[in-house]
Structure 1
């Protein structure tokens, strides 16, 4: 009956999940992680649809191969399965990577012996060639090793499998499909007792691979940051405010900066015209300028060839007021971020609500994150961004007193250390005598770093003069973060006890 069945090789779809789950449970009944969740499969399909392959026989999932693309230079060969995945959001996947990394292949027990695994492997090879990737790499189990572990080392076991003196259902199959053993990894998949927690790092090289000619480098390793320490002052009108914004964008772009960061609620001077209203009505009046400012920032980002982080502005969505900002890329695209944690005064004076959007943003200088002021005092938020691959965290803030500023700075320094990233903070100075609840400002903008030999001993790359309008221009080297991650005196991201605790972002 199977011989006459229709066999279809295609990309996996979310609607296949129930069939997929049943096949996974049957295929991996001896493994601790028996099946992928629907959310994980959906994320893989959303991020890399062509990399998720399945074989369907009479409307049943008979086999599946899941994969991501990684920048393999960011990993050591001695990685673990969990570290290469980047968590349930698969944050290690990048379209700018050079390796197709296989994260799962299985064949339903009822359909084994039909050479379906070979079809999946050949489809992966074709995909690797089509995407011009350097190789396919994955960690392979050696399930029969437990039978020989008392008499053979993993190396000897692999040699005997190569010589066909021992048959291993996984390794023998992979070797017959032109993969070679790159390395033996210890502790690759905790709980894999059949393999004694060893794995073979397998590789297939794409002989047609052509290294891209980076005439224009798409991802920079040394990134220049420009921070605006904004003077709160009364402006005659909206156009005067925009003129001051353009002055800073123009000046900082003249130094070939990649980013410019404005403070939280820097446009508050426009509230002066609403001072006859109560606080809730005044902030709603200010929010009427947000869409206009977004379009202005988008124009400036293109005109001055710089990525602009617009600080924050109030935005009315339905009946609720939010504190939001925008990443305006120099290619004309933009994305919105929200303040997640609202202070008691923001809630009581302005009726603001906390946002619900927490994510990293891709730029031509790598992944970045943005947290607004109070958000940086909650370590979970920045840790989630770090797990998604963030290298630079931008924190626009607004504090009225020095103790408020100290909370922001101290927490920002902690975030730099624990997440192995750079943190740029920018605030406002001066006063607004005709704007209620915005009377005085205190700030000392800065770029903060991890604390290790490659970085400043005090973890401060540079800081502005306190309470004076100024700009701060700072170069940060992203390669130093890679060195820290792999070879630092301490390695906070690697040394977490994931066997004891974990942090997850709710869908």
Structure 2
């Protein structure tokens, strides 16, 4: 995409979305005649099953949609046409007592393809299926590339080649990548679908949480996956090479469906090599010129890979000329928030003239409330206690330490913060050497996730840790429901047992 995206939102369809919905649908189905729903049909659909109709908006404009019905399994699995399954577009086939979520439409405006917005719609459909305790998602997928091969391949042969990745089909390849399996081939499914020769493939995604007896399902996510990046310092020719390396890791952790990706403190330092002829203070101010571009690119990555990115940290020169050490929480909805290092080390002050930030805050995300502290900040227990009082469940700590002494301070303090605040603490740093950048010669790190120390957690308070001083990723699941249990029923209840009648920690600003 050439234009900047400021916000991505996924929500239920409303009738006043209709004109934008129609425009995006017409653009998406240019090869089909009458390729849009009439307003009266959308009105019927919303009346029958409002919670099953989804739209995705970019900067408050509808650019995609996923529409669904609930039907009986027998009806979904038997041979049928598109008109039959939709009740000739009356949607009288919708049965609230059915057990199958049947997808009747999904599309993304061509201008916004490539950002994985379609995957978000499918993930949301899966959530609906789980929350309503339905057995599976079923729909008939078109095979729009089949017309190119119809003279040499039967539909079955075509599907076999798509499955073996010898042929790419824009619909089928996407569906199989989203865990749908083929049930059967269907003839004469959608009248006028010339590119598919009116064939379709019945596909199914099974809900592994389905129970024959309806249960209440907790819709709030309890298990959150963290992707920590232990970054190798290496020479970089330019900003594009840096982006390529960063995207590699974001892609890697998002492939494992991580909710967060975290980079280390000042991991962009290799870009400072071009300014090594300057003083340390001037060189890092030149490096700060990249910060805005990096923030925008990471926003794009967060959208494209559907992941919340904690961008480590980088130098930031304020309009007043003050140098700070900051990072950005780039959320997968396209928004961002900036955080800053509060406590500046003597080294940062002496060589770079950095100043500490003054804003202490938590951040609301789609995975709950989190805190972010940069390196030295973790060694001041008052700061994390303030964040804990605001409801923080996971504390992220991007760091940069040159010696094992420095790393030990960060590690041990992070482990202590997890115990005393009854939260998870994740740390990630840089490794290796950087000989052509002054004041950044060597690094030592071992990424890790620390937990409270009680029966529901590892006995040593370490959920997972990386290999020391080796470039790698650490992917870890943390269960925030265990924290709630700890707060109420732990062997000790540190947060509850504080003597606030004798001492308190509070913000002064």
Bin for the TM-score computed over the shorter chain: 0.5 to 0.7
Q: Which residue of the partner structure matches residue 289 of structure 1?
A: 290
Q: Which residue of 1 aligns with 2:248?
A: 247
| Cα offsets for 1:46-98 (capped at 9, x unmatched) | xxxxxxxxxxxxxxxxxxxxxxxxxxxxxxxxxxxxxxxxxxxxxxxxxxxxx
Judged with a 3 Å threshold, the aligned counterparts in structure 2 of structure 1 residues 322 and 488 are, in CA distance, closer, same or farther, namely same
Question: Helix, strand or coil for the counterpart of 1:352?
Answer: coil
1:296-315 Cα offsets, whole Å, 9 max, x none, are 00000000000000000000
Give the distance between the partners of 1:270 and 1:232, measured in 2 at CA: 10
Structure 2: give runs of 5+ residues left out of the alignment: 1-214
Give deviations 1:133-166, integer Å, cap 9, x for gaps.
Answer: xxxxxxxxxxxxxxxxxxxxxxxxxxxxxxxxxx
1:340 matched residue in structure 2: 342
Instruction: Please give the per-residue CA displacement for 1:102-127, whole angstroms capped at 9, x wherever unaligned.
Output: xxxxxxxxxxxxxxxxxxxxxxxxxx
Deviations 1:271-292 (A, max 9, x none): 0000000001000000000000
1:466 to 465, 468, 474: 468
How does 1:179-190 map onto structure 2 within 5 Å? none
Cα shift at 1:215: 10
| Other-structure match for 2:497 | 495
| Structure 1: tracts of 5 or more residues without a match | 1-212
Q: How does 1:89-168 map to 2 (within 5 A)?
A: none
* CA shift in 2, pair 1:396/1:214, >3 Å: farther
Alpha-carbon separation, structure 1, partners of 2:422 and 2:347: 32
* Other-structure match for 1:427: 429
Q: 1:417–1:216: structure 2 CA closer, same or farther, 3 Å change rule?
A: closer
Residue in structure 2 matched with residue 220 of structure 1 by the alignment: 221
Kindly tell me: are residues 450 and 242 of structure 1, through their superposed partners in 2, closer, same or farther at Cα, counting changes over 3 Å?
same
Q: Distance in 2 between matches of 1:381 and 1:504?
A: 9
* Aligned residue among 400, 413, 417 for 1:398: 400
Residue 384 of structure 1 and its aligned partner are, at CA, apart by: 0.1
CA distance in 1, matches of 2:218, 2:274: 47
Where 1:425 maps in the other structure, the secondary structure is strand
- Residue of structure 2 equivalent to 1:229: 230
- Equivalent of 2:371, from 358, 369, 374? 369
Aligned to 1:322: 324
Query: Take 2:218 and 2:440, find their aligned partners in 1: how far apart are those partners?
Result: 45
- Looking at structure 2, the residues matched to 334 and 492 of structure 1 have their Cα atoms a distance apart, in angstroms, of 33
Equivalent in the alignment of 1:408: 410
- The answer to whether the aligner puts 1:301 opposite 2:306 as a matched pair is no
CA-CA distance at 1:237 after TM superposition: 1.1
**Take 1:381 and 1:360, find their aligned partners in 2: how far apart are those partners?**
11
Q: 1:36 — aligned with what?
A: none
Question: How much does 1:485 deviate?
Answer: 0.4
- In 2, the alpha carbon distance for the partners of 1:396 and 1:244 equals 18
Give 3-state SS (helix, strand or coil) of 1:396's partner: strand
Give the number of aligned pairs: 294
- 1:265 is aligned to 266
- Following the alignment from structure 2 to structure 1, what is the Cα–Cα distance between the partners of residues 425 and 357? 21
Q: Structure 1 residues 506, 448: closer, same or farther in 2, change over 3 A? A: same
Give the C-alpha shift of residue 319 in structure 1.
1.7
CA apart distance, 1:503:
1.0
Question: What is the CA–CA distance in structure 2 between the aligned matches of 1:384 and 1:214, rounded to whole Å?
Answer: 34
Q: Which residue of 1 aligns with 2:5?
A: none
Which residue of 480, 486, 489 maps to 2:488?
Answer: 486
Counterpart for residue 450 of structure 2: 448
Task: Give the Cα separation in 1 of the matches to 2:221 and 2:249.
Answer: 23
Cα pair distance change 1:236/1:451, threshold 3 Å: same
Q: Residue 394 of structure 1: SS of its match in structure 2? A: strand
Equivalent in the alignment of 1:111: none
Q: CA deviation at 1:439?
A: 0.2
Report deviation, 1:501: 1.1
Q: 1:357, CA displacement in angstroms?
A: 1.0
For the residues of structure 2 that align with 1:339 and 1:296, how far apart are their CA atoms? Answer: 22
Deviations 1:138-196 (A, max 9, x none): xxxxxxxxxxxxxxxxxxxxxxxxxxxxxxxxxxxxxxxxxxxxxxxxxxxxxxxxxxx
* Cα deviation 1:179-232 (Å, max 9, x = unaligned): xxxxxxxxxxxxxxxxxxxxxxxxxxxxxxxxxx99994x41100000000000
Q: Which residue of 2 aligns with 1:383?
A: 385
Distance 1:288 1:254 in 2: 31
Alpha-carbon distance in 2 for matches of 1:272, 1:357: 31
RMSD: 1.4
SS at match of 2:339: strand
Deviations 1:429-460 (A, max 9, x none): 00111000000000000000000110001100
C-alpha distance in structure 1 between counterparts of 2:299 and 2:437, whole Å: 28
Distance 1:432 1:336 in 2: 27
TM-score, length of structure 1 as denominator length: 0.57
